[in-house]
């Protein structure tokens, strides 16, 4: 598929999303990532300088320290030996049975917004979306010998940015991540306070290796003990 000025993608299908709709765009040679619900407040920035951040937007103006809007900072890693590409950031989206009955959509899926739909993983598995940056002037096929029918960004310096995805079974670490996200979010309290009429997506940063990961969990009211009182 051809390059785009903006890529919108989500996991699942219209009317039944496992993730919010993400927007990927660029300004010259800087790349940005944000989701439908929070992009006006926070975004991931992959700067040409190699300083990559998750930070509050200038319009939002939140400062964790005086003059500092950054929540996370990491640096563009060098390619592994024998490779010409790097990963900017990852988005992990698990599918768990406790909330599979919940149907969520958002307004970026309207007829005026073209969304690239990523097939939902099977229950008990996850999909990981990676932003891949091949060397300047290379395609994904050149860099990884991988063909894709998805869209990509092309920056002013002719570098391309490809979102690609892979599927795997949930492991012990995934289940620990999910439990921690639910506990930290106080999901049970939210559900009880709102008389079970609440649902959405919970997102947390998971730092592993050189590139951090956004870990996204669908959640909402359910009779399952996962969300019940103990």
pLDDT (0 to 100) of residue 180: 87
Of residues 127 and 149, more confidence is placed in: 127
Sign of CA dihedral 59, 63, 66, 71: negative
Domain spans of the chain, in order of start: 3-220
CB atoms within 10 A of CB 62: 12
CA 97 to chain centre: 21
Whole-angstrom distance, CA of residue 131 vs CA of residue 133: 7
Q: Write the DSSP string, 86-132.
A: EEEEEEEEE--GGGTT-----GGGSTTS--EEEPPPPTTEEEEEEEE
- List of residues 6+ apart from 124 with CB closer than 8 A: 95, 96, 97, 169, 170
Whole-angstrom distance, CA of residue 194 vs CA of residue 188: 10
The first and second tokens of residue 199, run together, are 């649902």
pLDDT (0 to 100) of residue 225: 40
Comparing 7-16, 33-42, 119-128, 183-192, the range with the smallest average pLDDT is: 183-192
| pLDDT per residue as tens digits for the range 166-211 | 999 999 999 999 988 888 766 566 556 555 556 788 888 876 666 7
Model pTM score: 0.84
Give the three-class secondary structure for 177.
helix
């Amino acid at each position: 598929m051809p390059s785009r000025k903006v890529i919108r993608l989500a996991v699942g299908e219209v009317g039944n999303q496992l993730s919010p709709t993400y927007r990927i765009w660029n300004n010259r040679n800087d790349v940005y990532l944000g989701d439908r619900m929070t992009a006006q407040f926070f975004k991931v920035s992959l700067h040409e300088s190699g300083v990559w951040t998750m930070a509050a937007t200038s319009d939002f103006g939140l400062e964790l320290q005086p003059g500092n809007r950054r929540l996370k900072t990491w640096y563009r890693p060098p390619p592994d030996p024998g490779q010409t590409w790097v990963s900017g950031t990852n988005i992990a989206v698990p599918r768990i049975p406790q909330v599979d009955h919940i149907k969520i959509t958002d307004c970026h899926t309207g007829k005026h917004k073209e969304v690239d739909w990523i097939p939902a993983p099977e229950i008990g598995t996850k999909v990981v979306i990676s932003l891949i940056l091949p060397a300047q002037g290379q395609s994904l096929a050149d860099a990884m010998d991988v063909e894709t029918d998805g869209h990509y960004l092309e920056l002013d310096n002719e570098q391309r940015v490809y979102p690609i995805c892979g599927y795997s079974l949930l492991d012990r670490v995934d289940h620990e991540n999910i439990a921690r996200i639910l506990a930290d979010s106080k999901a049970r309290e939210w559900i009880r306070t709102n008389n079970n009429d609440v649902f959405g997506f919970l997102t947390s940063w998971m730092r592993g290796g050189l590139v951090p990961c956004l870990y996204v969990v669908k959640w909402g009211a359910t009779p399952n003990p996962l969300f019940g009182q103990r």
